[in-house]
Amino acid sequence: MKMENFPAIDLIDISQSYRDKIALQDISLALSNRQCLALVGHNGAGKTTLIKIILGLLKPNQGAVKVLHQDPASRHFNNLRCSIGFLPEQVLFQKTLTGRETLAFYARLKGLPTNNLDDYFDRVDLRAAADRRVGTYSKGMRQRLGIAQALLGQPKLLVLDEPTTGLDPVARQNIYRIIDEEKKSGAAVLISSHVLTEMDHRIDRVAILSEGRMVAHGSIPFLRHHIGMRSSLKITADPESCGNIAAMFEAELPVERPSMEEIILRCLPEQKLEILKKVMAMDATITDIELTDPSLEHVFNAYSSTASSGGNHV
């Protein structure tokens, strides 16, 4: 595998519409190897359409698409498909075949040997069930089989459409571990999801889609900063100290007093340390401090509502 960085996906001003409905509008996106990009949006935001364009199953009305340096909708792209791993949003494998037969079928289509499939089953924790029929698998096991299928042949680009849907937390962690491994071995990973809370630290960048438009794009800290979402600092102390703290910050920050012994300060991320220092410098009897940063969920909701209301509010 080449060590230098290359753009696995390069989309420039993609637009796609079906008859009267606009599915995607002016989407530009780049993803290089050793990176993981999350495509986030509500159902119908255009995630699957964008994935179809990246896989060359759909030719956009406008814009330029390059995947692994080639136009995926061209005939010559077929050879490059061996270097792409894909997990569709919903896939029901033939129930009558065993897990191993299913995986062997897909391996043959990619022209791979079928004698080392156990490695793949190990990676997704499915070794024990490899020779059972897919019909006996639980939803999570079927999803893991789907992931094993996507990993076939060390893909340079891994596209996973909602990979963690229906998985328990342990299996979900396992999938993120696999994504991490693939990233380290040089793959570019694109995942789409509307389950946001548990992916924070593993993705490098997020692209938020709303009604076919990309409303935000960047790393999570960047997005948080950009939309001006405030972290909340909850201090529990005696009523007198609370009063003092409130008096000190009321002028510059939104301050809430849920009860006499509690005070919540909402501050911008870059103010956090400064405020903490000031609070600690006060001669107050503080019993507890709880600092909550906006989660990806909050960021996402903020961006989605910004988009639908049409304005930019902080």
Partner 1 sequence: MYNILVLASKEVRDGYRNKWIAVMTLVMTGFALILSFLGSAPVGSTHISPMAVTVVSLSSLGIFFIPLIALLLSYDGIVGEEERGTLILLLAYPISKPAIALGKFLGQLSILSFAIIVGYGCATLAIALTGDIPLAEQGWPILLKLILSSILLGGVFLALGLLLSALTRDRGTAAAGAIGLWLLFVVLFDMALLGFLSSGAADLIRDDAVKWIMLASPSDAYRMFNLSTNAETALLSGMAGLREDQGVSASVLISLLCIWIIIPLAASCVLFQRRSS
Residues contributing to the site for partner 1 (CB under 8 A): 52, 55, 57-58, 78-79, 81-82, 84, 86-94, 96-97, 101, 105-106, 108-111, 133, 149, 159
Question: Toward partner 1, which CB reaches closer, 88 or 218?
Answer: 88
The DSSP element (H or E) to which 289 belongs, if any, is strand 286-292
Question: Toward partner 1, which CB reaches closer, 110 or 266?
Answer: 110
Helices (H), 8-116: 47-54, 99-109
**Min. distance of Cβ 108 from partner 1 in angstroms?**
5
Question: Toward partner 1, which CB reaches closer, 54 or 299?
Answer: 54
Using the CB atoms, write b or e for 52-71: b if 16+ within 10 Å. Answer: bbbbbebebeebebebbeee
Residue keyed to tokens 């510059």: 252
Question: Toward partner 1, which CB reaches closer, 89 or 256?
Answer: 89
**Min. distance of Cβ 91 from partner 1 in angstroms?**
4
Question: Toward partner 1, which CB reaches closer, 84 or 126?
Answer: 84
Phi, psi of 70 (to 5 degrees): -130, 160
Question: Toward partner 1, which CB reaches closer, 86 or 303?
Answer: 86
DSSP state for residue 271 in the 8-state scheme: G
Question: Toward partner 1, which CB reaches closer, 158 or 215?
Answer: 158
**Min. distance of Cβ 150 from partner 1 in angstroms?**
9
Cα–Cα distances in angstroms (integers) from residue 12 to residues 87, 220, 258, 273, in the given order: 24, 23, 49, 40
DSSP state for residue 293 in the 8-state scheme: P
Q: Give the Cα separation of 296 and 202 in Å (integer).
A: 12
Q: Give the Cα separation of 47 and 61 in Å (integer).
A: 16
Helices (H), 69-110: 99-109
192 within 8 A of 27, measured Cβ to Cβ: no
Q: Give the Cα separation of 181 and 72 in Å (integer).
A: 26
Phi, psi of 242 (to 5 degrees): -60, -45
Question: Toward partner 1, which CB reaches closer, 1 or 92?
Answer: 92
179 within 8 A of 167, measured Cβ to Cβ: no
**Which pair of tokens denotes residue 261?**
């012994």
DSSP state for residue 125 in the 8-state scheme: T
Q: Give the Cα separation of 219 and 216 in Å (integer).
A: 10
